[in-house]
Structure formats: structure tokens, C-alpha cells
Amino acid sequence: MNLSDKLTKAVKDAVQELFSATLESVEIQPTRKDFEGDLTVVVFPILRVAKGNPAVIGEQIGTYVKENLDEIADFNVVKGFLNLVISDAFYLNFFDVIKDQKNFGHEPEAGKAVMVEYSSPNTNKPLHLGHIRNNLLGYSVAEILKASGKKVYKTQIINDRGIHICKSMLAWQKFGAGETPESTGLKGDKLVGNYYVKFDKAYKEEQSYLVAQGKTKEEAEKEAPLILEAQDMLRKWEAGDEEVVALWKKMNGWVYSGFEETYKNLGVDFDSYYYESNTYLLGKDNIEEGLKKGVFYKKEDGSVWCDLTEDGLDEKLVLRSDGTAVYMTQDIGTAIQRVKDHPDVGGMIYTVGNEQDYHFKVLFLILKKLGYDWAEHLFHLSYGMVDLPSGKMKSREGTVVDADDLVEEMATTAGNIAQELGKLDGYSEVEKQELYKIIGLGALKYYILKVDPKKRILFNPEESVDFQGNTGPFIQYTYARIQSILRKAQDTGVAQDYVYEALQPKEKELIKQLALYPETVQLAAENHSPALIANYTYDLVKEFNSFYQQVSILGADTDAEKSFRVALSKKVGEVIEAAFGLLGIQVPERM
């Protein structure tokens, strides 16, 4: 039984014994910084069953709890709040238990697996800034769920078919002159993306010509030769035309190599991949089953619909009158297929921007109506846009910020700031470049993940690489400082063993902050929110820096103090590393 449970039981017992009343629940919260105490029992809700003066009732319960719980050293009552002081022995015992725990705060795997989908790009262009937020969120939520005790499969669905893919293919065929990633030195996704842009340019020129010939804008869009050729190519692809399919495979292969490089640079990974070219026919059988069950109904024109008006939504088309699928059909089929492929999956998380909020409400509701028990555990990890201050890091097209360019730019920004601060004397050039990348990526990831996913972000690269305040580099710098202390402790032969009985206030505060880590991991998993982990880590680092400034570690008066403070610093470093690992952020040994 943990302390919170023990305290809840003791307060209920006190109310039963002192007032012959039954208390259903006890409200406990951390004591406010300006009062003496560690945990506070809110007395006001108790007045519903125990009548009287709240201050007097608080005193009576405080006396009972102190007499009956060894962990409580003292108490005070302030305006209906019972503040309890927890004994040093409790915190020291807690620290002794956790200090050598390798996976402190992380639970072993149990129960049903969760599938987390993220990234899900199109194969006609490189990944951009929006994909960065998507990838960082999806990867981090997957890692947090793992740490909370879930088995996790990381997956993505790649949009590798459709008219947009054919546009790149056709443009390469017409204007490419046999160019390859090898012959140009370009990443495959960049090369294919360039041809998507070339198609668009040529298509617009054709439209302008047709409009000048007297066509309307709409007619020109439909009748331009390039779009007609692209549509013809799509029909050939769907019919399995050997030449078109071979070109499609070749160009998509280039793109996948490019994506893999970006994922590696970003530090994200996947366990499985789904391709729309394999899934676009899925779902039709499920629609047939749903018709038999009465989940769907057919209109006179043969189209199939799901009526969700009673659930506060609208009617949703799930199959066109000509029998072809819509996106919803595919998503229904793909979800069902994923559980067939991984029978231990009990829920799924879709990392997709907030413009798709309604789509996922409908999808989840339809899957529930079809009777799948795992459909109760589906979650749309919805997120807002990322904006940049205007004029900063615009890509060559002037509209979309390329993911690779941004990662490179972050390392450059980190390098410029580190050089200005003069922090890296004695580093080789290779070491410096590696460190700039770790700092730059850490800055980018932390800046994006510390914000609640639903909020829109204005991403400022210079601000994110500040070595002060709530930033990735500030936390990385504190971790490096701790490693420096540990190296010095080893060099000077600080003993590993100690007998320590009375805590300094700053030591106690630091242990209290460490104690919050396991519940923060669980809370972040429940809320699908890396922001909770990011901001916990910042609070831990602030607490450590306050401890570092006010309490001497290696210059402590006694060997016991020195050994205990080194052990405490080591544990803080381990928790920073573990928490940052959940955000996909590396921590450097030196900075």
C-alpha cells in the first residue's frame, strides 16, 4: 500500500472513530509551497459527514493520523486545510528503494496491445514541418504507452496510390530524361517531389492556354491534356498495366529510401507498414456484413450509407452507387485488417491533424456499431498546425518547410549559439557536429512536445535553442552538469555507501519530485500527452538546479552527505535521461 492509500485509510478511520461517520472519499493534494508540509487533506468535504468547526475537525484528524501513521512527523491546520509533514525516514527509505532501480517509473508489459499510427505520408513529396509534429507526437505517445506497461505496435499507412502519385510519375516520364537519385545526388523523395511541382507548373500553363482560347477555368482544369494523361495513367495502374506498375514501383522505391533517411535523422521508427495500394479495396466485405446487420442501408441509386443522425452526426456514404470505395470504406477495412494481423491489439491511436476530427468520430462510431469490442478503445490523437515566424526557413518553393532542411537548420542554429557562448572548448570538429545535432534536435522536439497536442504552435528556432528557461538545451545542459559531478565523484573516490538520517529541505524537495515520475508516466499515457512528461522534466531540472545552488555536493561537510548527494544527483540524471527518452530526445554526457 502506498502512502496516499495509507493516508486515505487513516483519515477514513479517524472520521469513523471520532465522529461515527463513514467517509466515501478523501481529497489529498501536494501542500502549497508557502505552507509547511508535504501532503494536504482538504477538510471541507469532510464537513458533510462530520459537523463542526473545520479548524477543530482538522486538528482532531491530524492528531489521530500522526498517532496512527509512522510516516507522519507533524501537522498543522490552515483555514480548513490539514497540512501533513512526512518524516525524513519515509523519504530516505523511498530513495533507498528506487536509487538502484534501472527502470524506475516504467511498468512491465501487461494486457492488450495498442497500435499507434503516425507519419502516414504521400509518396509524391518529401516530409514537411507538419509531418515533424505528427512523427514526434506519435513516436513519443508510443514510447510513453510502452513505459506505462502496454505492448505497442508502431505503424503507418502510406498513401502510395492515386492521381497525385500519377502526376509525379507522368512529369518524370515527360521531363525527367532518365534522372535518378544517384545521377542527381538528390534524396529520392526530393527528386519525386520536384516532379510533382513540375507537373503542377506545366498543368497551370496548359490551363492558362485553354482559358486564352475561350474555355472557362473549370473547363480548362478538366480538359488540360496533362490531367487527362494522369487520369489515364491511374486507370492503367488500377488495371495492372505492367509498364505503369513498374514505373510506380521504381519511383515509390526512391521515395521510401528518402523517407527512411528522414526517419533516421528524426530518430523515429516503425514496426509495420500498411500501403494504400494494398488496403484500398478493403472494407467492401465489411460493408456487406453491415448491410445484413442493419448497420448500413442502401439508397435507390445503389449507394450504401450509415445513418448516424441519432448519435448527433449526419448520414455517411460508405460505398458509392457504382460499388467503388470511399476513404471511410478503406479506413473501416484497414482497422479490421490490423486486428486480424495482430490479434493481441485491443485499441488503436491515430495521429492525424485536427482537420480530420469529424472523420474519426464517424469511423469510431461505425466500428462500434459493427460490434468490434476493440472499437471502444480507439483514440484520435488530434493536433494543431505548426507555424513559423514569417520569412524564416521557407523552402525553395516558398510555401512548405522541408523536414530535412529544418533538422539541418536546427543543428546549425545550435552550433551558432554554442559558439557564441563558448561552451565547447576542447571538442574535436566531429564531436562538435554530433553535439550540435543532439542539441538542435532536442530543441526542436522539446519545443513541439512541451505544448498540448491540440494547441497550434508558433515554432521559433532561435527561441527553442535557448540554454535558459523551459527548453530542451537547458535540460540537456543540466544532465551534462550532473554527469560532470559524477565523473569528479568517481575521480575523487566518493564512497557508494552511506548512513544518512536527516534531510535538508532541498534534498527532500528533490526526492518528492522524483517520486512523482511514475504517476506522471501513467497520467501522460492516459492523456496521450508528451507535454506532461516534458513539463515534469523541466520541474525536476529546476528543482535540481535549486538544490545544486544551495547545497554543496562534492564539498559537503561529511562523507555521508557527499555520498548521499552524489547518489541523489545520479538518480536525477537517470530520470532526466529516461523521461527524455520517452520524448525521443538524446542527452549528451558533456556540453
Asked whether residue 131 is domain-assigned, the answer is: yes
Residues 347 and 223 in one domain: yes
Residues 19 and 162 in one domain: no
Residues 150 and 282 in one domain: yes
Asked whether residue 477 is domain-assigned, the answer is: no
Which domain does 232 fall in, by range? 115-288+326-386
Q: What is the pLDDT of residue 421?
A: 76
Q: What is the pLDDT of residue 393?
A: 44
Asked whether residue 205 is domain-assigned, the answer is: yes
Among 256, 254, 246, 250, which Cα is nearest to 156's? 256
- 439 alpha-carbon distance from chain centroid: 19
Residues 124 and 75 in one domain: no
Asked whether residue 149 is domain-assigned, the answer is: yes
Q: What is the pLDDT of residue 422?
A: 73
Residues 200 and 53 in one domain: no
Residues 140 and 226 in one domain: yes
Q: Report long-range pairs for 56-59 (Cβ below 8 Å, ≥24 apart).
A: 58/82
Take residue 554 and report the three cell numbers written for it. Answer: 562534492
The DSSP secondary-structure symbol of 497 reads -
pLDDT tens track for 259-273: 999 999 999 999 999
For CA atoms 214, 220, 226, 228, give the dihedral sign. Answer: negative
Residues 191 and 138 in one domain: yes
The last residue of a domain, from among 71, 86, 101: 86
Asked whether residue 152 is domain-assigned, the answer is: yes
Q: What is the pLDDT of residue 467?
A: 87
Asked whether residue 299 is domain-assigned, the answer is: no
User: Which H or E element spans position 81?
Assistant: strand 81-86
Q: What is the pLDDT of residue 461?
A: 84
User: Is residue 337 within 8 Å of 309, Cβ to Cβ?
Assistant: no
Beta bridge partners of 197: none
* 381/528 Cα distance (integer angstroms): 7
The last residue of a domain, from among 347, 362, 386: 386
CATH number at residue 43: 3.30.1360.70
Residues 145 and 262 in one domain: yes
* 359/350 Cα distance (integer angstroms): 11
Residues 381 and 262 in one domain: yes
Residues 32 and 152 in one domain: no
Q: Which residues of the chain have pLDDT under 70?
A: 1, 390-399, 423
Q: What is the pLDDT of residue 390?
A: 65
State phi, psi for 425 to the nearest 5 degrees: -65, 140
Number of domains in the chain: 2
For CA atoms 477, 480, 486, 488, give the dihedral sign. Answer: negative
| Burial of 275: CB neighbours in 10 Å, binned 0-12, 13-18, 19+ | middle
User: Is residue 82 within 8 Å of 554, Cβ to Cβ?
Assistant: no
* 206/210 Cα distance (integer angstroms): 6
* 102/84 Cα distance (integer angstroms): 31
The last residue of a domain, from among 346, 368, 386: 386
CATH number at residue 177: 3.40.50.620
Residues 213 and 134 in one domain: yes
Asked whether residue 64 is domain-assigned, the answer is: yes
Q: What is the pLDDT of residue 427?
A: 85
Asked whether residue 264 is domain-assigned, the answer is: yes
Residues 252 and 350 in one domain: yes
